[in-house]
Chains A and B, each alone.
Chain A
C-alpha cells in the first residue's frame, strides 16, 4: 500500500530520519517502535506531508505522493493523529469531530449562503455520527465542552475520534495510547481490530506499550537513529539483541512480561 523508499530528513546537520525504507502492506496493522528520538514521528510527518523529506520517495498504491500537502493526502484516504494532541481548542468536542469530513456542501461559501436546507440535512447526519464516536470513546458527556478544557487523555481520545469520522484507507496513529487509561486502551485496540477487519483500514501504529502492540500488530518495525533496525513479528523483534539493547531493555517491565 505504502512504500517508503530511502527517506532522509535532516534538521540542520542532524539526521532525524536517515535512510529509512519500509513497506506497509494493505490491510495490515503495522507497529512502529523504537527508542525516543528514533525518528518515528518525523517519518510520519514526512509521509503525511507535514515535512518535506531531504531526499527519498513515498508512494501510495504505486502513486508518488512525496511532498504532497496533508490536505490532499487526506482526500486520498490517508489520515493521521498527533503525538502531542492538536485539538481545535476553542471549538466544542462535537464540532471538533463534525469538521472532519471533507466535501461537505456547506464548506463552500456560496453554498453556505444558498443551500441552507441541504446543509441542515447533512449536519444532522454528521451530528449523529459524531455522537456515535463520542459514545464509543466514552466521552459523550463532554460533547459540548470546549476541547481546550479536556484532560490530557481525553484529548488523545479526541485525536483518535477524528479518524473515525470518515472512511479512511490508511490511518497513522502516533502514540494514541500514551496517557490513555489501559482499560479504555484495550477497548480502542478492539475497535482498531474491528475497523481493520470489517472495513479494511490499514493502520500504522507508533506505541511504546508492548501489550498494545502485541495485541494488534503484525508486522512490527523497529527504528533506531533514523534507520530501520529490525522488522518481523513482535516475538521476533523481542528476541532481537539490538532491539533489546536499544529499546526494550531488560528491566522490570520485560521481566514481568517474560513471566506473564
Chain B
C-alpha cells in the first residue's frame, strides 16, 4: 500500500521530468511551482472537508484575500492618496465597525423591539459611513487614476505578505464561521460560495483598496528576477546561456520556497491528524450528535478548522500572487479556484494529506498539459480524414479538447480509484 503511494508520487515526478526532457525544464518547473501552490490549497480544503466534513466552496474568496494581502503589504504606499482620503476612509470603516458591533450587542441583549433598534442603528451607521466614505473614496480614486487611484500598500518585503494573507483569510473565515457554520452540507457550500462572490465583488469594485478591476501590476519579487540576473555581469558570465540559466534559477528558487512551506504544513497536519485532536475531529465528522454527547465542543472545533483551512488557502493565494507578480481580481473564477481545487482533493483522496498533495500536483499538471495533449489527439484523429470543411472544423475545435480531455482524464482516474488515488488510511 505504502509502495503504491510512493509509486504515485514517483509517477508525478516522472511526468514532470518527462516534460522537462520532451518540452523544456522551464515549463516543468513552472508546472511544479504552481503544482506546489495547488497542493497547499488542496491541503487547506482537505483539512476542512477530508477531516472535518466542512463543505467549503468559497476557496476562491480566501485565495483572493491572500492576493489582496500581497497588494496591501508589499506595494509601496501612495502618499498623495493617503493624504487625500486615508483619514476619511479609515474613520468611515471605524464607524461601520462600531455600528455593526453595536447592532450585534443590542440583538444579543434581547431587548424589546430590538429589531427596530438594530435597524435604526444600522441605518444611522450606514448614512454616517457613506457621508465619511464617499468623499474620501472619490479623493483617493482621483489620485493618478490611470496608474494608482488607491491607497497602496505598506511597502514591506513581499514575503511578509504570505502570513498576512493567511491572517486576512483567517479573519474572514472567523466572521463567516461565526455566522454560517451552523449550516449543513450543501447549504454551507452555497453560503461559502456566496461569500466568496461577495469578497470578490468588493475587491473588484472598491478601487481605493487595490485598484479594483484596474489590476495591480509590478508586485515586487522576493527573489532576484531573471532580468536582474541577466543584467548581473557576474551571473551572465558564469553561464553559457544566461537566459535559460536565469529563468530556471528563479523558478528553482521559488520551488524551494514553496516546498519549504508545503513540507512544514504537511508535517504539522500529519502530527495533528495522528494525535487525539485528529481522532476527535474525525469523530465529529462521523457523527456530530454523538461527539457532542461525548463532551466535544463541535462548534468550536468546526470554527477552528474552518479558520485554519481558510488561512492555508489565503497563504497559498498570497504565494500565487507573488509568483504571478500581479493582482488581477478578474482572474478569480470559481471554476478555477474553487472547483478545480476540489477536484484535486477528491481525485487525490480526501481525508489523506498525501492524497491531497498528490491530487494538487497531478491535476495541475493535467490542467496545463491536456491542452497540447488534446491538440495532439485531434491531430491524430483527423490525420486520416480528407481535407475539407469537416476537418477544418475539427482542427478549429482543438482548443475545446482541453476541457474535454480534462474531463475524460478525471473520469478515468476516478473510475479506477473511486475513493481517490491515495484514500483515507
Contacts and interface: CB of A to CB of B under 8 A. Distances in A.
Contacts of A50: 289, 292-293
Contact of B287 (A74, A89, A104): A89
Interface stretch (A94-102, A177-185, A192-200, A204-212): A94-102
Contacts of B293: 48, 50, 70-71, 74, 79-80, 82, 86
B295 interface: yes
A244 interface: no
A91 interface: yes
Contact of B277 (A87, A106, A162): A106
Given A86-B287, A112-B271, A113-B271, A74 B277 contact: no
Contacts of A253: none
Nearest to B279: A99
B276 A106 contact: yes
A107 interface: yes
A71 B297 contact: yes
A106 B275 CA distance: 6
A73 to B, nearest CB: 8
A189 interface: no
Given A89-B286, A109-B304, A112-B272, A70 B292 contact: yes
Contact of B283 (A88, A102, A116): A88
A69 interface: yes
A75 interface: yes
B276 A88 contact: no
B279 A87 contact: no
Contacts of B290: 82, 86-88
Contact of A91 (B272, B279, B292): B279
Contact of A69 (B272, B283, B287, B292): B292
B22 interface: no
**Chief secondary structure at chain B's binding surface:** helix
B282 A75 contact: no
B268 A113 contact: yes
A13 B285 CA distance: 33
B296 interface: yes
B294 interface: yes
Contact of A86 (B280, B285, B289): B289
Interface in B285-317: 285-287, 289-298, 304
A95 B279 CA distance: 7
Nearest to A85: B290
B283 A71 contact: no
A100 B294 contact: yes
A55 interface: no
B278 A99 contact: no
B280 A88 contact: no
Contact of B275 (A69, A79, A86, A112): A112
Interface residues of B, number: 26
Interface in A85-141: 86-91, 95-96, 98-100, 102, 104-109, 111-113, 116, 119, 122-123
Chain A: interface size category: 35 or more
Contact of A71 (B275, B276, B292, B424): B292
Nearest to A108: B277
Nearest to B267: A113
B349 to A, nearest CB: 14
Contacts of B279: 91, 95, 98-99
Contacts of B283: 88, 91, 95-96, 99
A113 B272 contact: yes
A18 to B, nearest CB: 24
A135 B285 CA distance: 27
A111 B276 CA distance: 10
Contacts of B424: 90
B77 to A, nearest CB: 35
A82 B286 CA distance: 15
A107 B276 contact: yes
Given A74-B295, A80-B293, A112 B277 contact: yes
A116 B272 CA distance: 10
Contact of B295 (A75, A88, A98, A105): A75
B272 A71 contact: no
Interface string B73-88: 0000000000000000
Interface in A34-81: 48, 50, 69-71, 74-75, 79-80
A116 B277 CA distance: 12
Contacts of B278: 112
Q: Which of A99, A100, A104 has the most CB of B within 10 A?
A: A99
A102 B283 CA distance: 13
Contacts of B271: 112-113, 116
A87 B294 CA distance: 11
A88 B292 contact: no
B298 A71 contact: yes
B51 to A, nearest CB: 11
A207 B286 CA distance: 27
Nearest to A162: B294
B264 to A, nearest CB: 11
Nearest to A75: B295
B289 A88 contact: no
Contacts of B292: 50, 69-71
Nearest to A123: B276
B368 to A, nearest CB: 35
B310 to A, nearest CB: 15
11 contacts: A50-B293, A71-B292, A74-B295, A79-B293, A86-B289, A86-B290, A88-B287, A90-B282, A98-B276, A105-B276, A111-B275
Interface of B: 268, 271-272, 275-280, 282-283, 285-287, 289-298, 304, 424
Interface of A: 48, 50, 69-71, 74-75, 79-80, 82, 86-91, 95-96, 98-100, 102, 104-109, 111-113, 116, 119, 122-123, 162
Which 3 pairs between the two chains have the least Cβ-Cβ distance? Answer: A74-B295, A106-B276, A112-B275
Given A69-B292, A104-B276, 20 more contacts: A50-B292, A70-B293, A71-B295, A71-B296, A74-B294, A74-B295, A86-B293, A87-B287, A88-B282, A89-B286, A90-B285, A95-B282, A106-B277, A109-B304, A111-B275, A111-B277, A112-B278, A113-B272, A119-B275, A123-B276
